[in-house]
Chain A
């Protein structure tokens, strides 16, 4: 198995005998961070996110990321069922995945057997059962998870359980602090990394092991958001000092720090596995580093600096390198395929396609003139002559271009309503065979990334006849 294993992902199920688990696992993950839900909270619009994720989103724009309904943090409620689903799924995952991967290969792979048997040890599973042999252990683990002693460790366990695990091979450097650690731990470590090198695995495990509070847990009282505009600098600083967090930096930074602290604190109050204030402070520190030392509006400047060092990228063992190498391989393979296809255009297809007909010209309400107005064909005689040629051709030969047998009626300038469509008179049979595409329907080209991507404001520039139009709302399709 490759090291990519270290980043757990729903796509792990692809190409296994349980590929149907991919959407199942995706459903158990927060759409914002793409991780398994951590302290899931439900919004008034009934969407669920990690507590910290949704609190950050609300701070950012006050809307549900899925449906964009306006909502606020104090309306959030815990979603215990989802928490339980996630906990039990995570506990069952390694065994199920292993089983699914084995089955996808060869059901009678004898080579797999001895390994599995080694893990049998003290369990009493029948030998010929194809059930994963570690199930009893997993069951215990899932209970301990349910009791809140542990989370996020399946990768680590997997490694230790693997007969072919190679300790030399399995280490990598953290991209931020350059500490070497087991591949399976890097990902979890990124949550906590404050940029300072870690000498042993102890610190990186902090999150993956039962946290024994060394100090009293924070009281469950949630912090109120402040109306920053009402607070003078000194009063604001005082608030941060009272909370025990750093009060230095620009006013903007202080506000963002306070906001993040409130989010961290309140999501910790939501959690069934609350962390200590010290842990939260460490997370705040880590957040602050990722924000770029007070200049977070400059994207990636600090991250870039962090990444430039000799560490992570230099090593060929790293996971990130491997991901990139993989990308290159895939790209090369894909390009080869694409080139092939591009070399022989499908004449039939082109012939049978009505030429593209506009739904309407984009109705432009207020053409804003910038200083640097791009003039695509200004001074470009070649382009201009092609344009003229085509226009002349169309005008003199009638249906030569099929779509333009008649002068194209200027789109009615009726309403300036965005996305209003001009269905126009049917020009010929071909057009009839392809009923006008309503601009209210998402184009078939668009793979919906969420059910609510609003494509309704866009006007189609061309008719795209080759695919049926999928109505993502109703699931009906028009061809």
Chain B
């Protein structure tokens, strides 16, 4: 049970050596080792500052050969995140996946996506268009608005 073993190890690792980008990472319940959840913090000094997002993490049975499926639960305004479904467009989660990435490391990459964008693949056309037009003020205001109003208050 390669994935079970690795997930147990990852769980223990996270507990001993937490990820600064997160306030939570672990299985959703005691009996679902293949379904995890996380809470991510915003990036200080960015329009996402002060935000909190809940993420849903589905681990495939052939993990780590295949990547986890990660989605935002509460809304986030980002060029590479589908505003309605929370789907994330990140090559690391698709073609560029490698078996050496852990869930925690993968979430670090998602966290980094908050301050950068994959130019090729916008999932949120509106915010991407604002950036493209150079309307940074508008884009930031919009992001701040949703960061605040959609903030995840649960655990």
Contacts and interface: CB of A to CB of B under 8 A. Distances in A.
Interface of A: 4, 7, 9, 11, 14, 31-35, 53, 56-57, 60, 63, 65-66, 68, 175-176, 187, 190-191, 193, 286, 290-292, 296, 299-304, 307-308, 312-313, 319-321, 323-324, 326-327, 330-331, 334-335, 338, 342, 353, 356-358, 361-370, 372-378, 382-383, 386-387, 389-391, 394, 401, 403-404, 408-411, 418-419, 439, 443, 445-447, 449-450, 453-455, 457-462, 464-466
A187 B5 contact: yes
Interface residues of B, number: 96
B116 A459 contact: yes
A34 B5 CA distance: 9
A162 to B, nearest CB: 20
B131 A362 contact: yes
Contact of A65 (B98, B102, B155): B98
Contacts of A357: 136
B140 A356 contact: yes
B15 A330 contact: yes
B23 A373 contact: no
B41 interface: yes
A367 B125 contact: yes
Given A57-B65, A327-B11, A356 B83 contact: no
B108 A446 contact: yes
Nearest to A337: B23
Interface of B: 1-6, 8-18, 23-27, 29-35, 41, 43-47, 50, 58-62, 64-66, 69, 77, 79, 82-85, 91-92, 96, 98-102, 105-106, 108-109, 111-113, 115-129, 131-142, 145-146, 155
Contacts of A190: 1, 4-5
B122 A364 contact: yes
Given A299-B69, A320-B33, A356 B47 contact: yes
B9 A9 contact: yes
Contact of B108 (A56, A356, A449): A449
A338 B23 contact: yes
9 contacts: A53-B99, A303-B33, A331-B24, A358-B131, A362-B119, A367-B122, A375-B83, A454-B91, A462-B140
Interface secondary structure of A, over-half rule: loop
Contacts of B140: 356, 390, 462
A261 to B, nearest CB: 15
Contacts of A34: 6, 9-10, 102
Contacts of A320: 8, 30, 33
Interface centre among B106, B120, B138 (most CB of A within 10 A): B120
B126 A464 contact: no
A374 B109 CA distance: 23
Contacts of B141: 383, 386-387, 389-391
Interface centre among B25, B77, B116 (most CB of A within 10 A): B116
Contacts of B59: 299-300
Contacts of A187: 5, 8
A454 B96 CA distance: 9
A462 B29 CA distance: 37
Interface centre among A372, A404, A449 (most CB of B within 10 A): A449
